[in-house]
């Protein structure tokens, strides 16, 4: 186990570095793809990093009357996302902290970050913060059951919710990726991830129109380094969710040994897969309009049904 433990340890160091450094770049790539498809020049893929650098240099300002909840929310959001970035087997098949790399624990950690941000939105006491928080809670209440049921569908075949176990089982038997269970679960998870990371058609990440915004309404009161932390953590959440998708359904290229060559392949395969997914997502968003808020439950009910069918299919077609 010592050799395998080394793989996990290397992964636990390499992954967060890659995700922290790479997720704003991926956001930049997505914005650039969108700009090109809309016939604009675009700001370049480094723009999110430039924005972050600018924000980090500003002095921290807190709105009057806010409490610790508002102050700690960005740190909680960042912390939970970082823990997931460390433990999930994105680059190596082993996890640095095996007991935490449980799908339920990972989902709970990611939800904790969302809840912290929603509480911060409520804490400001402004109309927008409260509205954004209540919308976010509505969406997450519908998203969470789908996520858990889809995860159940994936873990039933392996008999474990441990992420490394699921990944290595898929690596040993690639045929199971094209089974109906996987296909239904992947569609359900894609819908849920789009809703959870606040992309179109559920939430428009580039809007500041009061009637439509969800995520932006919650973070409206943040400024300076706090805002930078929230923005960086949001970009990382998108990367982590897409990473979970690739690691569950397309785990090829993941390092199984601690040799530098295998690690290099693992890192570049992860970066390539995430970039492809991000480009696809951005290209898809160009052709989509934002859904009315009252139609969102319909979309999420559909994805819940798909995840339930995935579980049912894993019993039907055993």
Catalog residues that contact another protein under the rule CB under 8 A. 175, 178-180, 183-184, 297-298, 301-302, 304-306, 308-309, 312-313, 315-318
Task: Give the nearer residue to another protein in terms of CB position, either 274 or 309.
Answer: 309
* Cα gap 265→287, rounded to integer Å: 34
Task: Give the nearer residue to another protein in terms of CB position, either 139 or 229.
Answer: 139
* Strand, helix or coil for residue 257: coil
Task: Give the nearer residue to another protein in terms of CB position, either 91 or 306.
Answer: 306
Closest distance to another protein from the beta carbon of 292 (Å): 13
* The pair of three-digit structure tokens given for residue 88, joined into one six-digit string: 């999930």
User: Given phi > 0 = left and psi -120 to 50 = alpha, else beta, which region is 140?
Assistant: alpha
Closest distance to another protein from the beta carbon of 58 (Å): 44
Closest distance to another protein from the beta carbon of 308 (Å): 5
Closest distance to another protein from the beta carbon of 254 (Å): 23
Task: Give the nearer residue to another protein in terms of CB position, either 264 or 288.
Answer: 288
Closest distance to another protein from the beta carbon of 115 (Å): 24
DSSP 8-state assignment for residue 290: P
Torsions phi, psi of 102, nearest 5?
A: -100, 140
Q: What angle do CA 303, 110, 133 make, to 5 degrees?
A: 80
* Cα gap 139→133, rounded to integer Å: 10
Task: Give the nearer residue to another protein in terms of CB position, either 76 or 191.
Answer: 191
DSSP 8-state assignment for residue 179: S
Q: CB-hemisphere CA count at 13 Å for 195?
A: 33
Closest distance to another protein from the beta carbon of 147 (Å): 16
Q: What angle do CA 48, 53, 59 make, to 5 degrees?
A: 130
Task: Give the nearer residue to another protein in terms of CB position, either 90 or 304.
Answer: 304
């Amino acid at each position: 186990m010592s050799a395998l433990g080394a793989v996990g340890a290397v992964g636990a160091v390499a992954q967060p570095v890659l995700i922290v450094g790479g997720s704003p770049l991926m956001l930049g790539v997505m914005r650039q793809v969108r700009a090109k498809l809309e016939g604009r020049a675009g700001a370049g893929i480094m723009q999110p990093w430039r924005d972050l650098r600018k924000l980090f240099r500003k002095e921290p300002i807190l709105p009057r009357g806010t409490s610790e909840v508002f102050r700690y929310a960005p740190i909680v959001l960042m912390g939970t996302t970082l823990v997931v970035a460390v433990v999930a087997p994105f680059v190596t098949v082993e996890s640095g902290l095996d007991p935490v790399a449980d799908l339920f624990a990972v989902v709970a950690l990611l939800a904790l970050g969302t809840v912290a941000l929603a509480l911060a939105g409520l804490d400001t006491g402004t109309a927008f913060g409260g509205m954004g928080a209540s919308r976010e809670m509505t969406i997450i209440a519908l998203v969470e059951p789908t996520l858990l049921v889809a995860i159940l569908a994936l873990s039933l075949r392996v008999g474990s919710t441990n992420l490394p176990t699921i990944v290595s089982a898929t690596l040993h038997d690639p045929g199971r990726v094209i089974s109906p269970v996987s296909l239904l679960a992947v569609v359900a998870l894609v819908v849920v991830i789009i809703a959870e990371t606040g992309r179109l058609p559920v939430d428009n990440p580039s809007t500041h129109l009061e009637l439509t915004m969800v995520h932006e309404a919650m973070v409206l009161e943040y400024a300076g380094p706090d805002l930078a932390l929230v923005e960086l953590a949001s970009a990382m959440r998108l990367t982590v969710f897409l990473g979970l998708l690739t690691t569950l359904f397309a785990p090829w290229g993941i390092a199984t040994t601690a040799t530098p060559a295998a690690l290099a392949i693992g890192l570049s395969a992860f970066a390539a897969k995430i970039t492809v997914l991000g480009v696809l997502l951005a290209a898809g968003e160009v052709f989509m309009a934002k859904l009315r808020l009252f139609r969102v439950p319909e979309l999420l009910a559909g994805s819940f049904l798909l995840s339930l069918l995935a579980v049912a299919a894993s019993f039907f077609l055993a």
